Structure 1
Amino acid sequence: MQLHVRVVEALEIAKMDLNKSDPYCIVSVPQANSSQRTKVKDNSLTPRWNEEFHFTLPNPASATLHVEMKDKDLVKDDKMASLDVQLCSIPVGMVVDNWYNMTPASGVKKGGRLHLVIHIAPQGAPAFIMQQPGAYTYGGMPMQPGMQPYPGAPMQPGMQQYPGAPMQPGMQPYPGAPMQPGMQPGMYPQQQGYPGGMMSFGPPPRPPGMSDKDYKKLCKAQKKAMKKMMKGKK
């Protein structure tokens, strides 16, 4: 799985040097032993970075996104604030755009707020592309109409192919798809529709090596987040 993070901007940050700060952010995933950082924004209390970072996630169910904001100084950079995002709360395939309250560092009066865009997706899937309910699915994760599974990926049981793509052995066409050359009517069982015409999210792809316990946690977190999202759209 891939983690895509866009550090957009920050507001209400602390003044570290008289009436200004020179902030930058360190973005890391401790479980993946990976760390990256933004550029320094000189003399700013409303920094805007709009920078993107990408990480490989061995296990999204137990991984944490850690962001630390520091003030650039000539001698030693000072800690300003930090935040942690539990990635099990981010539905796989969804693009989460949110403001987060940061915890101020020791001796700092306030932490401020940080604007992040977070996306967890399979290897090879496009970054920051929202996967909507009703889209074609790959391995239980929705795909956009016309989008192909990433090159070389094996077809999963119950997977649906995008319109016009060549059929693979043992694969079922998506509901309502035109018959391909060489196909015989009735060779595939009829697809079952979903109530109200809406397609539901299946379980997220299971990363290699993930334990049953961690996978259940990941499925539970995605189901909870999807219920909350669908409830908000009513």
Structure 2
Amino acid sequence: MSKVMIVTGGSRGIGAAISKAAAASDYAVAVNYHARADDADNLVREINEQGGTALAIKADISDPAQVKVLFEGVKSKLGVPSVLVNNAGTTGKICRLDEVEAETMSRVLGINTMGALYCSQEAVKLMSSKHGGCGGSIVTVSSIAARLGSPGEYVWYAASKAAVDAMTVGLAKEVGGEGIRVNAVSPGIIDTEIHALGGEPGRVDRIAPAIPMKRAGTAQEIANAVLWLCSDQASYCNGTILDCSGGR
């Protein structure tokens, strides 16, 4: 089976760490991005200069038509994907539910939930033995917010990730007999720019003392977990939601 991985939202943060780790593990990597072309191009250039294989493909994964184009592009340029990493995600600005705009909630659910569903749907069509595929792996980056609820910060984001967890369990049971393993990694507080984008650059420092390990995680630590779930070492993991939260 060819080693081709699609990483949605792969140009920065956790996605970039996953893309680099995948390339180092001999995957040809499709780095999906939506708006930040420079970041995606720079990452792809870095991977290729280090002897890996990567390409950047623009697509808004909340749009099913663009998702279809994304998968068609990967198939024609790199080959049939053997791994999909549903990493793309957004939170919106930190606030209470009664303060958030409807457009923000729709956008968050569109990317985090519907985007993961659309991409997983296309992956199954290519990977499943039912459709003549050779199998593969789907790993979604969830969040412990799905369990904690994110009160006072972004309840809608937590809801979007709870839906992703349900998708992971249900799809794993649906396609496990067709050669596809479906799992998720559930990060806690990870030190990336997502906190600043949400309106609180110091969020990591505020929350870190309440984490049992007394620190935030790194993007690389999440990438390590994702790559493990994709690997043969996790060959009997299906429907697993792996917490990577420092014990929070």
Quick check: which one's helix share is greater? 2
TM class by shorter chain equals under 0.3
TM-score scaled by length of structure 2: 0.25
